[in-house]
Amino acid sequence: MGIKKYEQTLTSPLKEATVLLLLRDKEVLLTMKKRGFGVGKWNGVGGKPNPGETIIETAIRESKEEIDVTPINPNKVAVFKYYFPHDNFGMKVWVFTTNKWQGEPSESEEMKPQWFSLKDVPYDQMWADDKVWMPKVFEGKKLNGSFMFDKEGNVTDYYINEVDSVE
């Protein structure tokens, strides 16, 4: 079943989460996930909102908790829906970027940060969808879309759109 048909079968809203990417001088800060969902993969910082928290407040809080950095004026650059039908699980992820922050990225129990050149992003050690959308975000594009994964974490179907604003 493809994404469009699968989306028609959903009966409850998706859980929300954030991903924040710090950018500087043609580099991106990625973090190695040390525990929990996505362990062993490079990704941005982020997580799920606390009750009553806005999605941007979530992105800022998670950055403070995971790498001891406070982003300043994060930009909402993408929103994606992720589906894992074999686990009956899905989530809506808001992607932010920033090139201004307070503090120096530091390792936590959950995340190990490392700077990568935009030309050397380790896509082979990341979620399979990242190589589809992340280069577009690095080019300054705003996006929305959906990705479907199999048990092994491979993308089995997706669509992605460039948009004027992310809502």
Q: How many domains does the chain have?
A: 1
User: Distance (Å, rounded) from C-alpha 36 to C-alpha 39?
Assistant: 6
Is 31 a residue whose pLDDT tops 90?
A: yes
The pTM score is 0.94
Q: Residues near 79 by Cβ (< 8 Å), separated by ≥ 6?
A: 92, 93, 94, 95, 143, 144, 166, 167
CATH of the domain at 152: 3.90.79.10
Q: Which domain holds residue 143?
A: 3-9+17-163
Which pLDDT value is given to residue 34? 87
pLDDT digits (tens, 9 = 90+) for 65-110: 999 999 999 999 999 999 998 888 899 999 999 999 999 999 988 8
Q: Residues near 114 by Cβ (< 8 Å), separated by ≥ 6?
A: 29, 30, 31, 32, 42
Beta-sheet pairing, 101-102 with 70-71: antiparallel
- The position carrying tokens 């992310």 is 166
- What are the distances in angstroms from CA 129 to CA 16, 40, 52, 53, 69? 17, 16, 29, 27, 26
Is 37 a residue whose pLDDT tops 80?
A: no
